[in-house]
Amino acid sequence: MLNNKHWPSDVITGAGIGILISQLVYHFEPLKNWHPFKNTKGVSCVPIIDEKEYGIYTRITL
């Protein structure tokens, strides 16, 4: 519309996309701190293998 570079339909479509995205962000924002598989307690062991050495990495969370 400004300097004959945009049609009114372009402006309306862009505004609609912006409104839709902002509504989706507000809808899903409470889920950003949701971690359903995060354990606060547990034990994990990971094998470490290199060319010249090997071992086991162990982590215990209490």
Query: Could you tell me if 61 and 55 are in contact, meaning their C-beta atoms sit under 8 angstroms apart?
Result: no
H or E, element range at 52: none
For range 49-61, the mean pLDDT? 92
Instruction: Return the SS3 of 60.
Output: strand
Tokens for 14, please give them: 């862009």
- Give CA separation, 36 vs 52, 60, 62, in Å: 39, 20, 18
pTM metric for this prediction: 0.49
The answer to whether residue 1 scores a pLDDT higher than 90 is no
Beta bridge partners of 60: 43
The answer to whether residue 50 scores a pLDDT higher than 70 is yes
